[in-house]
Copies of this chain bind each other. A is one copy, B any other.
Amino acid sequence: MRYGRNHKAETRARIVDIAAARFRRDGVNGVGIQSLMADAGLTHGGFYAHFPSKDHLVAEAVRAGFEQTAAFLARMVAEAAPAERFRAFLDAYLSEQHRAHMERGCVGAALAPELARMGPAVKGSFKAGLLRIVDLIADILPDGGTPDARRDRALTIFAMLMGAVQLARTVDDPDLAAAALAGAREQAFSAAAMPWGR
């Protein structure tokens, strides 16, 4: 073979990584195969040796994007003292850094409505990534509650944070953006501290 044993797998992984960033930054519809492959230092024709279609790449990129975010958040949480973990999570997710850098941020906050219009493979990828983040949140919620109740609360907290980051990004008003992030922070603490059960 012309290239090393892992060459093709490495190229593929590089395309997925670049796509995960570009899709979040410009939207799935805003990124063409040609421009994507050029970013990877390749020509567009080679794309179909790696993926059967753009949709397949989107599913992979969604998976990869959630993986990056989950790994980053898990690290932030692990570095904090147990009692500070939820706070560390909120600080990371609701940070000005996150608001300002769609391309490295949460896939949900950058792409959710656009992915809602796509096929089942992409949606399946989204669901898996979402549940990963939700599990991460459920693990750092105060003790108590059934696993289902913990997951449901984590899911709602995630919806709130994701929505707040989107609003902060869309308003073009630094004060209102800051209010959206700060408000979500406060309500997330309240929601986490609510007693369990009826």
Contacts and interface: CB of A to CB of B under 8 A. Distances in A.
Interface string A38-79: 000000000000000000000000000000000000000000
Interface string A89-119: 0000000000000100000111111111100
A167 B163 CA distance: 10
Interface string A145-177: 000000011011111111110110111110010
Given A123-B172, A153-B183, A180-B159, A130 B167 contact: yes
Contacts of A116: 102, 166, 169-170
Nearest to A112: B166
Contacts of A159: 160, 163-164, 166-167, 180, 183-184
Nearest to A173: B127
A108 B162 CA distance: 12
